[in-house]
Chains A and B, each alone.
Chain A
C-alpha cells in the first residue's frame, strides 16, 4: 500500500462505519476503511440480519403448524436445523459481499486489519499483530461497535453457555433453554428456540420483559409468550451458573430466596459493552464513560479530529442509529450547511419475536415524567379487517400525544408486521405532524396501517371501528 494519505479514516466497517465511508466518498473525500473481521459488522454478520433469517424459518414453521386454520394441509412438518443455520449464514455472507462491492464502487480503500489511533492524525493498521501500514488523515471516525456484556461467572464456553454468536450457529435445539435477559436479543432467541421446540425460560432482572418498551406492550407480550408456553420470570436475578457435563445448574434468586434449576443450554443476553480497548484512546483526550466514548451532538470526541459513531458512542444500540450518525458526522466534517443533530426520541426500535414489537418516542410513563399532559389512543388487531384476514388478530397500536400541542410523543405497537408499520409514525414525528394531519391522512384499506389511523382517532375519542 503506497498511498497512506486520506481525508478520512474510519475504524470499523459495521453499519456506522461503512455508511459513513460511502457518504464521505459521495462528498468527494478520499476515504479509508479499516476492518479486521467482516464488512457489515455485527449487524450484518452476527446480529440483526442472521437472526431475521433464523426467525423467518421459525415463523414459516409456525405457520405450517397452523396450515389447517387456513384450509391447507401440511403433513410431516419438520425442520433441519443445519439447513436453517446454513441459510442464515448464507444471507449474511451475501450481504457482507454486497458491502464490499458498494465500498469498491464508491472508491473507498478498505484495509483488512485492525485499526488503532497512533498519534495525531495517524492510524496504525495491524494484521496478526504485525504492522501493515500507518495511515494519515485529518479526521478519524471510531466505529468499532460493541460486544455482548459478559457476566462474571457466566463466561461463554461455546458449549453450554452461549452468547449471541453461539446461539446463531447452534448444532442442536436445546431441550431446556434458559435465556438471561429479555431485551430484543434475548426475546428473539427465546422465541426462535421455543418455536423449534425448546422448553424455554426467560429471566429478567427488571419487573417486566422488554423493559425499554411501554409497560402495556411488556404486559401484552408476556401474556402472549406465556400463552405460547414460554416460561417468563421477572424480577429474578441469576446468581450462579454451574456448568456440568452436559447441563447447567442456574441459581435463581426470587424475592431474596434462591433456588436451583437445571437447563441444557443458557443464552446470556445481558446488554453490551463498547469496544473501546486497544484502539489507542489512551494517547488522546477522548473521554470514555462506562465503556462508551463521550461525544457531542455532532459525534465529536474531546480529541479534535477524532469522532465516534454507533454503539461505541452510546445508546440507543441500533444499527440505524449508527448509520445516521455516520452520515451526520461525515456531513459535519465536510462542512455542509443546515445540519441538525439526531433526535434520539425519533429513533424506532423493533423486536422480531411473535408477536412483533415496534416503538418510537416516549413511553406513556416517560411522557408523564417529562410533564406532558397526555391524550392516549389504542386500537386492537382484533378490530382490523386485514389482521383478521391474515389470521393475526393479536396485538394493538398505542399512540401518545401531548394534549396541548397535539405533538405525537410516542407510538407503541405489538402484533403482526408492526416492525414494517412503525416508520409511518417515524416520518410523522420527523415532520412534526400533529394529530390533526394524521387524522386527515387517508390510510389505504385493507391494511394493518389503518390501525395507526384508528389509534390516533381513539386518542381523541373518535375511533370508528372499536
Chain B
C-alpha cells in the first residue's frame, strides 16, 4: 500500500488551500523531513515535509492547483520494495476524500492528468447543490449560496430557501453593473487567497462595524532623544539592537492597554470579551498583501524585545513564512504609514478587535509651548474604534494614556 500524502490543514479553520509548487518530482527518493511541496493558505505559504521515507510514486495534485480540499490525497509515496503497480488501485474515490467537491473531474481522467482536482467553488470548500432556479434567484439577489441552508432533497437548495433569504451586506453587488475595460488594456491579476480574505474581512468590517475616529497630535521630541541615546548605546555584534519609533509606539500602546483594558476588547453577539493578554497586531505590507503578525504579551516585553519580535515577524511575513497562530488573534492593531510621509490617516478596524491605531509621520511643526512659539516633532495618531464595544469616552481615555506615555517615554521604563 502506498502511503497517502494528504493536503494538510495549517489552521483549524482551513478548509482548502493551494498547492503552489512541488520541490520533488515523481521517482525522487525522499526521507523524513525532506521538503515535498509548498502549500499556500489564505495568509501564508507553508512547506510540507515528508513524514516517511520512500519514493514519490505519483503526484496527484500538480503545482499551481487552487482550492485543494484539506485531507485530499495530493501525492502517493511508495515504500521500500513497493513498485509502481501499487499505484494502480488509486481511483477517484481514494484520490479525493472530499468526494462531493471532486468526483466529476477526477473520474474524467487519470488523476495525474486532471489539471484541477479538488476544486472548491465556494469558500466553504464543498460543492453547493442548488436547483437552477435557486441559483438564478440567488445570483439576482447577490446571495452567496454557501450561506444558504438547503431544504430540498438531500439538502439541495431550492427556490423556497433563497426566496426568503437576504444577502449579507458584504455580498450585495453594487447597484451599477461593473463595466470591464476593453481587453488588452489591462493585466488581470487573479485573486490570491490572501487578497480574497483581505477583501472580505475589510469590506465586512467597514460595512458592519460602526467606526468612529479619535485623533491626537503627539509630541515625540523626548522619544526621539531617548531613541537616539538608546541606539547609540547598542553593543556591536550579539545583543545589538536598533529601536524604531514604531517599537516605541507598540510599547506605549501596550502600556496604555494595561491602563485602559476596556480598549483591549472584542465584540461578539452575546458579550464584549475583555482580553487578558496584551497581544498587539502589527500591520505589515507584503508583496501579496496586508498581514498582521502579533507581538504577544507586549506589556511584558521591553523595547528591545518588542523590536526583535517585530523585526522577526515582519521579515517572515514578507517571505510568507508565518505560522497561522502568529497572525490569528490579537486584541489591538497598529498600522504605521509614517515611513511613507503620511501625515494622518484613519485605519479600518481588524475584526473582531475593537481598536486600531493609525500612526502618521513624525514631523517638525511650529508648536506653542507655554505661550511661546517653538519647533517640535509631532506625530499624528488616529484611533479607529468599534462603538459597539468601546464607547467614545473609553477610546478617548485610551488615546490620552497613549499620548501621555509616548510623549514621556521615561514612563515606558516603569
User: Which A residues have a C-beta under 8 Å from some C-beta of B?
Assistant: 338, 340, 404-407, 431-434, 436-437
A434–B153 touching, CB < 8 Å:
no
What is the CA–CA distance of A340 and B132 in the complex, to the nearest angstrom?
A: 19
B395 to chain A minimum Cβ distance, whole angstroms, is: 46
Determine whether the beta carbon of B152 is less than 8 Å from that of A434.
no
CA distance A88 to B113 in the complex (A): 63
On whether the beta carbons of B137 and A405 are closer than 8 Å, the reply is: yes
User: Which residues of B sit under 8 angstroms from A405, Cβ to Cβ?
Assistant: 133, 136-137, 140
14 chain-A/chain-B pairs, Cβ below 8 angstroms: A338-B153, A340-B151, A340-B152, A405-B140, A406-B132, A406-B133, A407-B136, A407-B159, A431-B132, A432-B132, A432-B134, A432-B158, A433-B132, A433-B133
- Per the bound structure, the CA–CA distance linking A405 and B137 in Å amounts to 6
B151: chain A residues at CB < 8 Å are 340
* B152 partner residues in chain A, CB cutoff 8 A: 340
Contact A432 B140, beta carbon cutoff 8 Å:
no
State the CA gap A434–B133 with chains docked (Å): 6
C-alpha spacing A407/B140, complex, angstroms = 13
- Complex formed: what's the CA distance from A436 to B135 in Å? 12
Contacting residues of chain B (130-173) with chain A, CB-CB under 8 angstroms: 131-134, 136-137, 140, 151-154, 158-159
Of A338, A340, A406, A431, which one neighbours B136 at CB under 8 angstroms?
A406
Q: How far is the CA of A213 from the CA of B159 in the complex (A)?
A: 25
In the complex, the answer to whether B154 meets A338 with C-beta atoms within 8 Å is: yes
Chain B residues with Cβ below 8 Å from A404 are: 140
Shortest CB-to-CB span from B203 to chain A, Å, is 27
Chain B residues contacting A407 (CB-CB under 8 Å) are 133, 136, 159
Min distance, Cβ A429 to any Cβ of chain B, angstroms = 9
A433 to B154, CA, bound (A): 17
B134 CB contacts on chain A under 8 angstroms: 432
A436 contact set on B, CB distance < 8 A? 132
| Residues in chain A near residue B136, CB distance under 8 A | 405-407, 434
- Nearest residue in A to B139 (C-beta to C-beta)? A405
User: Which residues of B have CB within 8 Å of A433?
Assistant: 131-133
Of the candidates B132, B134, B159, the one having the most CB atoms from chain A within 10 angstroms of its own CB is B132
Chain B residues, Cβ within 8 Å of A338? 153-154
Contact A431 B131, CB 8 Å, known A338-B154, A340-B151: yes
Residue of chain B at shortest CB distance from A402: B133
Closest to A437 in B: B132
| Chain B residues bordering chain A, tally (CB within 8 A) | 13
B-side contacts of A340, CB under 8 Å: 151-153
Q: How many A-B residue pairs have CB under 8 A?
A: 32
Which chain B residues in 112-143 approach chain A with CB under 8 Å?
131-134, 136-137, 140
Specify which chain A residues have a CB less than 8 angstroms from the CB of B131 in the assembled complex: 431-433
Q: Which residues of A contact B137 (CB under 8 A)?
A: 405
A437 CA / B134 CA spacing, docked (Å) = 13
- Chain B residues engaging chain A, CB cutoff 8 angstroms: 131-134, 136-137, 140, 151-154, 158-159
Contacts of B140 in A (CB 8 A): 404-405
Min CB–CB distance A298 → chain B (angstroms) = 15
Q: Knowing that A432-B131, A434-B136 are A-B contacts, what are 12 other residue pairs whose CB atoms are under 8 Å apart, sorted by A's residue number?
A: A338-B153, A338-B154, A340-B151, A340-B153, A404-B140, A405-B136, A406-B133, A407-B133, A431-B132, A432-B134, A432-B158, A437-B132
Most buried by B among A340, A407, A432, A436: A432
- Contact present for A432 and B159 (CB under 8 Å): yes
Q: Chain B residue with minimal CB distance to A407?
A: B133
Residue numbers in A under 8 Å from B133 (CB-CB): 405-407, 432-434
- Min CB–CB distance A107 → chain B (angstroms): 29
A432 to B153 Cα, complex, angstroms: 12
Q: Identify which of B134, B137, B159 gathers the most chain A CB atoms within 10 Å of its CB.
A: B137
Q: Which residue of A lies closest to B153 (CB)?
A: A338
Residues of B within 8 A of A432 (CB): 131-134, 158-159
Bound form: Cα–Cα A353–B131 in Å: 35
- Name the distance in Å between A173's Cβ and chain B's nearest Cβ: 49
Q: What's the Cα separation between A34 and B384 when bound, in Å?
A: 75
Residues of A within 8 Å of B153, CB to CB, are 338, 340
Tell me which of B136, B140, B151, B154 has the highest count of chain A C-beta atoms within 10 A of its own C-beta. Answer: B136
Of A404, A406, A431, A436, chain B has the most CB atoms within 10 Å of the CB of A431
A430 to chain B, nearest CB (A): 9
Which residues of B sit under 8 angstroms from A437, Cβ to Cβ? 132
A414–B158 Cα gap in the complex (Å)? Answer: 30
Residue of A nearest to B154 (CB): A338
CA distance A40 to B159 in the complex (A): 35
- Measured CB to CB, the closest approach of chain A to B183, in angstroms, equals 26
Task: Give Cα A437–Cα B133 distance, bound, in whole angstroms.
Answer: 10
Report A39 CB to chain B, min CB distance, Å.
31
Give Cα A320–Cα B134 distance, bound, in whole angstroms. 27
In the assembled complex, how far is the CB of residue B334 from the closest CB belonging to chain A, in whole angstroms? 48
Within the assembled complex, what's the spacing in Å between the Cα atoms of A338 and B137? 23
Q: How far is the CA of A339 from the CA of B133 in the complex (A)?
A: 20
A21 to chain B, nearest CB (A): 24
CA distance A338 to B153 in the complex (A): 7
Roughly how many angstroms separate A171 CA and B413 CA in the complex, as a whole number?
116
- Complex: A229 Cα to B152 Cα, angstroms: 49
How far is A191 from B158 in the complex, measured between Cα atoms in Å?
41
User: In the bound complex, what is the Cα–Cα distance between A407 and B163 (angstroms)?
Assistant: 13
CA distance A434 to B135 in the complex (A): 10
**Whole-angstrom CA separation of A338 from B131 in the bound complex:** 16
Could you tell me the distance in whole angstroms from the C-beta of B298 to the nearest C-beta in chain A? 52
When distances are taken between beta carbons in the complex, the residues of chain A under 8 Å from B159 are 407, 432
Say whether A434 contacts B154, CB under 8 Å. no
CA distance A327 to B154 in the complex (A): 18
Task: Output the nearest chain B residue to A433 by Cβ-Cβ distance.
Answer: B132
In angstroms, how far is the closest chain A Cβ from the Cβ of B54? Answer: 45
Closest B residue to A408 by CB, please name it. B133
- Given the complex of chains A and B, what is the CA–CA distance between A175 and B14 in angstroms? 82
B198 → chain A closest CB, angstroms: 33
Q: How far is the CB of A103 from chain B (nearest CB, A)?
A: 28
Smallest beta-carbon distance B289→chain A, Å: 37
Q: Tell me the minimal C-beta distance from B320 to chain A in angstroms.
A: 42
**Which chain A residues border B132 with CB–CB below 8 Å?**
406, 431-434, 436-437
Task: Sort A-B residue pairs by CB-CB distance and give the 6 closest, nearest first.
Answer: A432-B131, A432-B133, A434-B132, A405-B136, A407-B133, A433-B132
* Cα A437 to Cα B152 with chains together (Å): 19
B348, chain A: closest CB distance, angstroms:
35
CA distance A436 to B133 in the complex (A): 10
Q: How far is the CA of A136 from the CA of B137 in the complex (A)?
A: 49
Could you tell me the distance in whole angstroms from the C-beta of B157 to the nearest C-beta in chain A?
Answer: 10
- Closest Cβ of chain B: how far from A288's Cβ, in Å? 30
Q: Quote the shortest CB–CB distance from B155 to chain A (angstroms).
A: 8
| Alpha-carbon distance A432/B131, docked complex (angstroms) | 6
Instruction: State how many angstroms separate the Cβ of A92 from the closest Cβ of chain B.
Output: 35
Q: Which of A340, A405, A407, A436 has the most CB of B within 10 A?
A: A405
Closest to B133 in A: A432
CB distance from B193 to the nearest CB of A (A): 31
Whole-angstrom distance between the Cβ of B164 and the nearest chain A Cβ: 15
Cβ of A424 to closest chain B Cβ, rounded Å: 16
- Using CB atoms, name the residue of chain B closest to A431: B131
> Among B133, B140, B151, B158, which residue has the most Cβ atoms of chain A within 10 A?
B133
A454 to B348, CA, bound (A): 55
- In the complex, A404→B159 CA distance in Å? 13
A433 CB to nearest chain B CB (Å): 5
Which residues of chain B come closer than 8 Å to A406, judged between CB atoms? 132-133, 136
